[in-house]
Structure 1
Amino acid sequence: MAVTKAERALVEQWRDVLSVHARTMCELDRELHRFGLGASDFEVLDVLAEGAAEDGGCAYRVQELASRVHLSQSALSRLVARLEKEGLVSRGMCSEDRRGVRVALTDSGRARHAEAQPHQRAVLGRMLAERA
């Protein structure tokens, strides 16, 4: 089966997106390391700091967070457990559904996020400007 020029261009475009993502994630991990965070850690803190959960509150259900940070529920659960152990987030049962778990930012998590945010945004600006 012959690959068309359009297909080749599409695959190259996809690989370019993957390359930018990989380079950006590596750079974010490197920059955020000094704050004791990885890129995924920061992303969870960032979503929690935005505080616009579906119910209007500032605590997110784990399922809600998983869809926002693009991690599997099991990977997110491990990450949240680690962030909780570090005192950056707290977990509690959902009042409306006792099977659900809500995650909220602690004061310490809010402070760490505020400290790291300008550095994360600078990396995004630098890495994504290269794409333009």
Structure 2
Amino acid sequence: MPRESTAERGAGLVSEWRELLDRHAAVSCALEKALQEGHQIGLSEFETLDRLADADCEHCRMTELARDIHLSQSALSRAVARLEAEGLVERSMCADDRRAIFVGLTERGRQVHHEALPTHRAVLDSTWDRRGEDDTG
């Protein structure tokens, strides 16, 4: 049985990579659209609320949140600032370490998350396995 050449393996990896990127883009765009239309919240903001809700604690360190969420530190800071401006999260400083910033859900943030969660999960369910389909169907 002949072994796969390096070039063939590379071409296969590039194909898989592009398929992953296409899938990510399709799911992300569908989520962004549904969350904006249904709840006036972006995907980054929802993901931040979702991670905070999953953490199930009063406050989470921004550095820990940044590790859990796939956003740059500056993108996460902007998302948290937008959520804070809408009254969905609160930021606070750590009493022991002035460099540490905590973020926590407000009651309004919990409510928005609760209302948007079914939309998020339904879109994930309907788009996750779609391959090669367009959005007209």
RMSD of aligned C-alpha atoms? 1.5
- TM-score w.r.t. the length of structure 1 is 0.89
CA distance in 2, matches of 1:3, 1:27: 36
CA apart distance, 1:3: 6.7
- TM-score w.r.t. the length of structure 2 is 0.86
Residue in structure 2 matched with residue 86 of structure 1 by the alignment = 86
CA apart distance, 1:51: 2.1
Residue in structure 1 matched with residue 33 of structure 2 by the alignment = 30
> Rg larger in 1 or in 2?
2
- Consecutive unaligned residues of structure 2, counting only runs of 5 or more, are 132-137
User: The residue matched to 2:97 in structure 1 has which SS?
Assistant: coil
Residue in structure 1 matched with residue 11 of structure 2 by the alignment = 8
* Aligned AA (1:8): A
**Paired residues for 1:1-132 under 5 Å:** 4-33=7-36, 34-52=38-56, 57-130=57-130
CA apart distance, 1:39: 0.9
* Aligned AA (1:38): G
Where do 4+ consecutive residues of structure 1 move more than 6 Å? none
* Count of aligned pairs between the two proteins: 126
CA distance in 1, matches of 2:15, 2:102: 40
CA distance in 2, matches of 1:51, 1:115: 18
Larger relative contact order, structure 1 or 2 (CA cutoff 8 Å, min sep 6): 2
